Amino acid sequence: MIHVSNLTMRLPSGGRMVTILDGINLDVPEKQFLAVVGPSGSGKTTLLGLLAGLDRPTAGSIRFNGTSLTDLGEDELARLRREKIGVIFQSFHLIPTLTAFENVKVPLELRGDPDADREALRLLDEIGLADRKDHYPVQLSGGEQQRVAIARAFIGRPEFLLADEPTGNLDSANGQRVIDLLLRLHRDRGSTLILVTHDPSLAVHAERIVSLRDGRIVQDEERAPE
């Protein structure tokens, strides 16, 4: 489903070029749950941004179901994200002027889906936030905001879901609720899930763990998830 070949990212810093990713090669099959782990500065979030088409690599290629992301224009990338890719950010990135209900249904509204309202209400009920549907992000706790962000990412039934430290801004109790929700929706909806995390307790739920260090893959382990 996803084929990454010789992916390299270099950025200028202090008058010199710094290598963030250094020749990454990676294949991710359909419906797999892959955790990407590594210390701060290892290139995890940069890799996720490239996979989402939010940034362009210095060299190398990314193919998504045979389509080369690196050859697409900005409008084509935006369309691909809208139709095929869901992204969950550590900082939630909810639209502050929209309610929870309105935030969740945004992806379907952008597609012109006539069932946007019904699907958003159903998904809010599924994540236990139906009674908070008319609340704005500022009126929700961090855990509730992240659950809304997860619902928004899943509502379009994306083939490919990316999550960047989804529990990083939460306490342990809310973090566990978010983990449970993410795993349940992944299982029920069958999206390929790539999760960036520094939290071992989250990574152990994955079928496969790829470890990065200094922009390179240093370990690639398939395992039985806990």
**Single pTM value for the model:** 0.87
Cα(6)–Cα(21) distance, integer angstroms = 9
**Domain 29-57+73-222 has what CATH class?**
alpha beta
- Would you kindly state where each structural domain of the chain is located, as residue ranges? 29-57+73-222
Each residue of 137-191: pLDDT tens digit?
999 998 899 889 989 988 988 888 999 988 887 788 777 887 888 888 888 888 8
Burial of 98 (0-12, 13-18, 19+ CB in 10 A): middle
Tokens 């955790």 — which residue? 35
Query: Residue 226: which pLDDT band, with cuts at 50, 70 and 90?
Result: low
Q: Summarize pLDDT for 25-60 with one digit per residue, the tens.
A: 999 999 999 999 998 889 999 999 999 998 999 999
Residues in the chain: 226
Identify which of 35, 22, 39 has the alpha carbon closest to the alpha carbon of residue 222: 35
